[in-house]
Amino acid sequence: MATDISQDVTVGEINKYDFITPSHDVFKAQKGLNPEIVAQISEMKQEPAWMRDFRLESLKIFESKPMPKWGGDIGIDFQDIYYYLKPADHQGKTWDDVPQEIKDTFDKLGIPEAEKKYLAGVKAQFESEVVYGSLQEDLGNKGVIFTDTDTAVREHPDLLREYFGKIIPPTDNKFAALNSAVWSGGSFIYVPPGVHIDFPLQAYFRINAEQMGQFERTLIIVDEGASVHYVEGCTAPMYTTESLHSAVVEVIVKKNGRARYTTIQNWANNIYNLVTKRAVAYQDSLMEWIDGNLGSHLTMKYPAVYMMEPGARGEILSIAFSSKGQHQDAGAKVVHCAPHTKSRIISKSISKNGGRSSYRGLCKVEKGATDCKSNVVCDALILDSASRSDTYPYIEVEEQDVQIEHEASVSRIGEEQLFYLMSRGLSEAEASSMIVSGFIEPLIKELPMEYAVEMNRLIELQMEGSVG
Amino acid sequence: MTETLKITNLHVSVEGKPILRGVNLTINRGETHALMGPNGSGKSTLGNVIMGHPNYEVTEGKIELNGEDISEWDATERARAGIFMAFQRPMAIPGVKMADFLRHATTNVRNPSRKEGEELIPMRQFRKELTEKMEQLRMDTEFARRYVNDGFSGGEMKRAEILQMAMLRPKFAILDETDSGLDVDAVKLASQSIAEIGGDQMGILIITHHDKLLDQNTPDFTHVMLGGKIVETGGVELAHELYTDGYDRIRASYPEAAVAEQVMAEAV
């Protein structure tokens, strides 16, 4: 049973999503980063002065901050990137307003299938700006706001300003500062008290211009006793030069609220994916992050939940799949700031064909946060001897009366498991693929149906030709 | 023409150590063979090597299915050609539901030329058949939704193996200590089940220490393995004798094989 680990399957396996739609930009900013470019972005967007000043201040912070010292090597030339592109003059209000070539791209991504049910609820981002979005009427009637963040700056300035940059200030880290300076697009969601949205709100993101960074900025506010499930999926076409994706996502879940944020990202192999995601959860609320990371050259992403008041809960499910030339440095952070709070982290990683996956997680219990429970499980599956997996759990506890559990396991696909499945007529590739699907099943079953199907298909594509 | 699984002068090594030293065995479809012998005599090795385990190296001899040498085939090809083994210790595949696994397996075995990604048996047809078989084996239908062998009791694992055999309808089946770890009633149920799912249509090789599994599946032949060879073949009465009296007579009658048994035991 020879396993050829040297063959490069990365090109074939993402072919399905590897296409480029000709770009007809109305406006194309120049490469690089300086106060003039940042001010120009703000002016293009006709932003109020406070936002322009916020951007310029953030740029200073970005310039003064060192690169992160953990994770992977970040080999980005910040002056060789476009920070803002505007693909259409205005955002399409209906599907008919959306330009044909953008529709073609959506077709290739399979978006119409997902749309059939929730057409009106779907927002999609093409390059830097949301070009299509409309809101289901009953959502509007309930007072729910679901728009792109640029629009929210204009139409909901007071609400936005109250929370924007408060959970993740620009001073948080270098990439949060960069995003704060040049952000564009992303979703803004407000769910009023007691309102439950019983279908997932969805957005597709896509980078389509070479060397263009994508810096979306998402802010979700779930008011008291309200609930929402937001789903974000990404596929990116493949380019030869490096590309940067650096998003900031802030979520506020108030008393008795529930929020679930699901992400499936399938980046091309040259993308740096450096994302800051953080939620604050108040009394008896629940925040859940479900985070699937495929592809990219380097991903550094650690969704966080800060439990601010008693009874708050945080749950993070994350999965990373790394193949040749890919490093997934992903994980989770849970911070218990109040007593009687609970958290759970389940992290699964798969490394194959020389890929590297790291779990990096923090569990912190602050002084006074008694009677807290935290359960962390991280499992790694390594498919061949060229691949690698590491675990970096950080635990900081300042209270006695707490229950912290951490389990980690690393396994290789066993020869005996393969033989067992093959003895039932499965091919070796089919058997490996089945073992991998089983490994990530706990995450898949949390996804909405069409994403579960998509995720399984992506994993199958990743697995094709990996053995044999 | 009767279909035949024929093993000729089979020598097998694992990590350079010889385990089988010239096994000859012919099983015709429709026959039941019992294979007995003390621990370490090579019984499970024979089962694994017939199924195509990659760690067992055939150094001499051959395995033929209907005249075609299959010694170089991998387990997938053998399964699709109609060979099955009920494992002594089946592997757990966490996260994979029995029903999904069996639907793939059943499709592949019934359509041996199927390529990955091609159509599976229609869900409705598969469900119906699976439910029938599970009822026949007195298994709760909930079983189909559990993960393959994950957290199964010993008895559940063995019944799951028989269920797989029932679905795959092999031409030749090896039952590797399917009775071990089962209580008397469970062995009886397993024994009945094998008979009910059409054991008489298959060529069966039952590897066992006991004679209980043989009650409902009376062997046409009983073979005794010692020191990596089949040293004696008889009828069902031989199985009863070995179960009752042990292997002292066999060791005394075949001193060369008894010496080989010693050598193999010390090499472990």
d(C-alpha B225, C-alpha A31), whole Å: 78
In angstroms, the CA A149 to CA A188 distance is 5
Q: Region A65-91: what's the mean pLDDT?
A: 74
pLDDT of residue B225 exceeding 60, the answer is yes
Q: Which of B52, B108, B112 sits opposite A426 (nearest CB)?
A: B108
C-beta neighbour count of B233 within 10 angstroms:
13
Between positions 426 and 465 of A, the ones with CB within 8 A of B are 426-430, 434-435, 437-442, 460, 464
Mean pLDDT of A391-408: 91
pLDDT, tens digit (0-9, with 9 covering 90-100), for A368-399: 999 999 999 988 999 888 899 998 999 999 99
Asked whether the beta carbons of residue B79 and residue A425 sit closer than 8 angstroms, the reply is: yes
Cβ within 8 Å, pair B96-A434: yes
CA distance B193 to B216: 9
CB contact under 8 A, B96 and A426: no
Tell me if A417 and B101 make a contact (CB, 8 A cut-off).
no
Cβ pair A421:B101 closer than 8 A: yes
Strands (E), B30-171: 32-36, 57-65, 68-69, 83-86, 93-97, 147-148
Cα B171 from Cα B190, distance rounded (Å): 19
Would you say A253 and A289 are in contact if contact means Cβ atoms under 8 Å apart?
no
A252 touches chain B (CB under 8 A): no
CB contact under 8 A, B76 and A427: yes
**How many cross-chain Cβ pairs, A to B, lie less than 8 Å apart?**
88
Give the residue from chain B lying closest to A415, CA to CA.
B54
Residues in CB range of B202: below 8 A, 6 or more apart: B29, B30, B170, B171, B172, B173
> For residue A287, what are the contacts with CB-CB under 8 A and spacing of at least 6?
A251, A253, A258, A259, A260, A261, A279, A281, A305, A312, A313, A314, A315
- A58 has a pLDDT exceeding 80: yes
Cβ separation B53–A417 shorter than 8 A: no
**Architecture of the CATH domain B4-267:** 3-Layer(aba) Sandwich (3.40)
A90 in helix, strand or coil? Answer: coil
- pTM > 0.95: yes or no: no
| ipTM of the modeled complex | 0.96
Give B246's contacts (C-beta < 8 A, 6+ positions apart). none
pLDDT of residue B204: 95
- Cβ <8 Å between B78 and A423: yes
Alpha-carbon gap: B54 to the closest alpha carbon of chain A (Å): 6
Q: Which of A379, A409, A419, A455 to mutate to test the interface with B (most CBs of B within 10 A)?
A: A419
Distance between CA atoms of residues A164 and A183, nearest Å? 12
A463 min Cα distance to partner chain B (Å): 12
Angle between helices A449-463 and A428-444 (to 10 degrees): 150
pLDDT-derived band at A140, boundaries 50, 70, 90 = confident
Decide: helix, strand or coil at residue B139.
coil
Q: What residues pair up with A318 in beta bridges, in sequence order?
A: A291, A347
Banded model confidence at residue A447, pLDDT cuts 50, 70, 90: confident
Q: Give the per-residue pLDDT at A412.
A: 78
CA B246 to chain A, closest CA, distance in angstroms equals 32
CA A457 to chain centre: 19
Q: pLDDT band for position A120 (50/70/90)?
A: very low
> Is residue A431 helix, strand or coil?
helix
Interface residue ranges in chain B relative to chain A, Cβ cutoff 8 Å:
51-55, 74-76, 78-80, 84-85, 87, 90-91, 93-96, 100-101, 104-105, 108-109, 112, 116-117, 147-148, 164, 168
Q: Does A415 contact B55 at a Cβ distance shorter than 8 Å?
A: yes
pLDDT at A16 over 50: no
Q: What is the DSSP letter of A390?
A: E
Tell the burial category of B195 from Cβ atoms under 10 Å away from its Cβ (0-12, 13-18, 19+): middle
Which pLDDT value is given to residue B106? 96
Average pLDDT, chain A: 80
How high does pLDDT run on average in chain B? 92
Q: How far apart are CA A16 and CA A461, in angstroms?
A: 9
Shortest alpha-carbon distance between residue A203 and chain B (Å): 29
Distance from CA of A433 to the nearest CA of B (A): 11
- Give CA angle at B258 (B252, B263), nearest 5°: 155
The strand pair at A298-301 and A258-267 is best described as: unpaired
* Bridge partner residues of B225 (DSSP): B230
How do residues A221-277 score in pLDDT, each as one tens digit? 999 999 999 988 655 444 445 588 899 999 999 999 999 999 887 777 778 899 999
DSSP reduced 3-state for B147: strand
Task: Return the residue of B nearest to A443 by Cα.
Answer: B95
pLDDT of residue A64 exceeding 90: yes
CA pseudo-torsion sign A427, A431, A436, A442: positive
Tokens of B256: 């060369």
- Give the number of residues written for chain A: 468
Which chain B residue has its CA at the smallest distance from A441's CA? B95
The per-residue pLDDT for range A207-218, each reduced to its tens digit, is 444 434 588 899
Are A424 and B168 an interchain contact pair (Cβ–Cβ within 8 Å)? yes
Sign of CA dihedral A434, A437, A439, A445: negative
Question: For residue A438, which residues of chain B lie inside 8 Å, CB to CB?
Answer: 93-96, 147-148
List alpha helices for B52-122, DSSP H.
75-80, 98-110
Task: Mark which residues 94-123 of A lie under 8 Å from B by CB.
Answer: none
Q: How far is CA A273 from the centre of its chain?
A: 9
Between the CA of residue A447 and those of A191, B72, B248, what are the distances in Å? 21, 43, 62
| A145-185 tens-digit pLDDT | 988 898 899 999 999 999 999 999 999 999 999 999 999 88
What is the rounded (10 degree) CA torsion for A456, A461, A463, A464? 140
Q: Are A43 and A103 in contact (CB under 8 A)?
A: no
Judging contacts by C-beta atoms under 8 Å, the chain B residues touching residue A424 are 79, 101, 104-105, 108-109, 164, 168
Stretch 410-429 of chain A: residues touching chain B, C-beta under 8 Å: 414-417, 419-429
Q: Which residue reads 């798969």 in tokens? A: A350
State both tokens at A389: 């997996």
Nearest chain A residue to B82, by CA: A425
Indicate the pairing of strand B93-97 with strand B57-65. Answer: unpaired
- A438 CB-contact burial (10 Å; exposed 0-12 / middle 13-18 / buried 19+): buried
Percentage with pLDDT > 90 across chain B: 74
Q: Residue B174: CB partners within 8 Å, gap ≥ 6?
A: B47, B50, B51, B83, B84, B85, B86, B204, B205, B207
The verdict on A159 touching B (C-beta cutoff 8 Å) is: no
The pLDDT of residue A27 is: 54
Other beta carbons less than 10 A from residue B207's beta carbon: 26
Q: Which residues of A touch B80 (CB under 8 A)?
A: 425
Amino acid at B132: E
pLDDT tens-digit profile of B186-198? 888 888 888 887 7
B-chain residues near A412 (CB < 8 A): none
Element housing A60 (H / E): helix A49-64
